[in-house]
C-alpha cells in the first residue's frame, strides 16, 4: 500500500508489528488516533514506553509487580505451602479471578517450545527448584494450557523435582462447564473418562 | 480484573481504548510489548505520539500529507477536472490501489451521521463547494460506503452543488466480482437490476 505520509506509514508499520494486528487494522487504529485529542494519543504512547521501561518483576515469583516483591508473595494470609506454576501473568490473573486458589504463584515467563527456540534455560525453572528446596512448600500445581508444550514443560519440571519430597499435581483436564458432550473432541472426552471423579462408593448391605 | 502492577494496568486501559481492542487483547498486547527489546516499545510509543502531533493535512484535498499540499494534488499529470469525494484516507488508498482513477480527491474527514452527532458542519463540505466553484472541475464522483450515511452525504452535497454546472456521479452499486448471485442480498440485487449496464443494442435488419 502507498501511504500519503511517512509519519502515518511509520505508525502503521509499528502498530502492525503487534500480534494479531495487520496492515488494515493498523490503518484503522492510526485513523482513530488522528481523530482523538492530542492528550489521548500522547497518553497511549507514553503508557507503552513506560510499560516496557519501568515495569518490574517480583523477585520471588517473577510476576509483574510495582515493587521488589508482589502483593501476592507479601500477603501473609496466603498459603505458603502451595505453589501454582504458570506460563505468564495472564494465567495468574485468570486463576486469581476464580477465587479458588489461595497459595503462591511461580511465573515461568514462557513455556518449553523447541520449535519456537524456547528451551528450559530461557525460563524461570532453576529459581523454582531452588525455592522449593529452600522453603516449606508441600505441593506444586502445574497450571499450563492443555497442549504438547504444556505437557512437555510439566514433564520436565516434575523430573527436576524428583526426590524433593514435594507433591506435584496438574490442573484437571476434562469437559468444560456448559459444553455439550457431543461437541467435545475425542481426546478431551477420552482423558475425562480416564481421570473420572468418584462421586460415591456404595458398599453391599 | 485485578492487575498486579499500576503500570501495566494503565497500559492495558490505554490500549483497550482503541477500537476493536478489548481488555483481553490489550493484556495480550501488553505482554507482547514486555517481551520485546526496549527500542521496539519506545519506537511504537513514539510513532503513535508523532502521528498525532506531527501529521499534517493537504490544504487542497484535506488528505494526510507530509507537506502543505499532498503528492496527488501537486502531480500535474493527474486529471484536474475530476474530483473524487471520499470519507477518509482509507478510501483514497483503496481507490489508488485500483489504478482506475487519475483525478484528484477530496477527503471529507467523516460522513454525515446524525446518530453519532456528525453533521455537515463537521465535514470539509464548504471547502469542496468553494473549490468546485473556483476551479475548472467538470465532474464530482461520490465514493462512499453503500449505506444510509453514505447516501445522505451524497444527497446533501449534490444539493449544495446544484447550479454549479458540474456533473455529479456516484460509484456503481452492484454484485461484487466473484460473488455468486444466489448469495447476494435482495437490495443489492435489486439495485444492480435497476442500474444494469447495456452490453449491446441490436437493430432490426
Q: What is the fold, at CATH topology level, of the domain defined by A74-198?
A: Dna Topoisomerase Vi A Subunit; Chain: A, domain 2 (3.40.1360)
The span from the CA of A12 to the CA of B93, in Å, is 13
Number of CB pairs < 8 Å for A and B? 188
Can you give the pLDDT at residue A205? Answer: 67
Tens-place pLDDT, residues A99-118: 899 999 999 999 999 998 99
Fold of B6-54: Helicase, Ruva Protein; domain 3 (1.10.8)
| Interstrand relation of A104-107 and B82-86 (parallel, antiparallel or unpaired) | unpaired
Mean pLDDT of chain A: 90
* Confidence check: pLDDT of A187 > 90: no
For the residues A69-89, what does the mean pLDDT come to? Answer: 92
Q: Which residues pair with A106 in a beta bridge?
A: A85
Domain borders along chain B are: 6-54, 74-198
What number is the ipTM of this complex? 0.78
Q: What is the 3-state secondary structure (H, E, C) of B125-180?
A: CHHHHHHHHHCCCCEEEECCCCCHHHHHHHHHHHHHCCCCCCEEEECCCCCCCCCC
Contacts of B52 in chain A (CB under 8 A): 33-34, 36, 38, 41-42
Q: In whole angstroms, what is the distance from residue B131 CA to residue B61 CA? A: 9
In chain A, whose CA is at the least distance from the CA of B23? A90
Residues of chain B with pLDDT below 50 are none
Cα of A159 to nearest chain B Cα, Å = 28
CA A80 to chain centre: 20
Per CB-CB distance under 8 Å, the chain A contacts of B7 are 50-51, 54-55, 66
| Cβ <8 Å between B32 and A19 | yes
Query: A118: distance to nearest CA of chain B, Å?
Result: 13
List the 32-61 stretch of A: residues with Cβ below 8 A of B. Answer: 32-34, 36, 38, 40-56, 58
pLDDT at A1: 67
- pLDDT for residue B205: 67
Residue B4, chain A, CB below 8 Å: the answer is yes
Q: Cβ of A48 and B47 within 8 Å?
A: no
Amino acid at each position: 500500500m502507498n501511504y500519503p505520509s511517512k509519519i502515518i506509514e511509520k505508525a502503521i508499520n509499528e502498530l502492525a508489528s503487534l500480534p494479531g494486528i495487520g496492515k488494515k487494522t493498523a490503518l484503522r487504529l492510526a485513523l482513530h488516533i488522528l481523530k482523538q485529542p492530542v492528550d489521548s494519543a500522547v497518553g497511549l504512547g507514553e503508557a507503552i514506553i513506560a510499560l516496557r521501561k519501568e515495569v518490574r518483576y517480583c523477585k520471588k515469583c517473577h510476576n509483574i509487580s510495582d515493587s521488589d516483591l508482589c502483593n501476592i508473595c507479601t500477603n501473609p494470609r496466603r498459603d505458603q505451602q502451595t505453589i501454582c506454576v504458570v506460563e505468564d501473568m495472564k494465567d495468574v490473573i485468570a486463576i486469581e479471578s476464580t477465587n479458588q486458589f489461595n497459595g503462591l504463584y511461580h511465573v515461568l515467563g514462557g513455556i518449553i517450545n523447541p520449535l519456537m527456540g524456547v528451551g528450559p534455560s530461557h525460563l524461570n525453572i532453576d529459581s523454582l527448584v531452588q525455592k522449593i528446596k529452600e522453603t516449606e512448600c508441600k505441593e506444586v500445581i502445574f497450571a499450563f494450557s492443555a497442549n504438547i508444550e504444556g505437557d512437555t514443560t510439566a514433564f520436565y519440571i516434575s523430573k527436576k523435582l524428583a526426590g524433593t519430597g514435594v507433591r506435584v499435581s496438574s490442573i484437571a483436564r476434562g469437559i468444560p462447564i456448559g459444553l455439550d458432550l457431543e461437541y467435545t473432541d475425542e481426546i478431551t472426552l477420552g482423558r475425562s473418562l480416564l481421570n473420572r471423579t468418584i462421586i460415591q462408593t456404595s458398599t453391599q448391605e
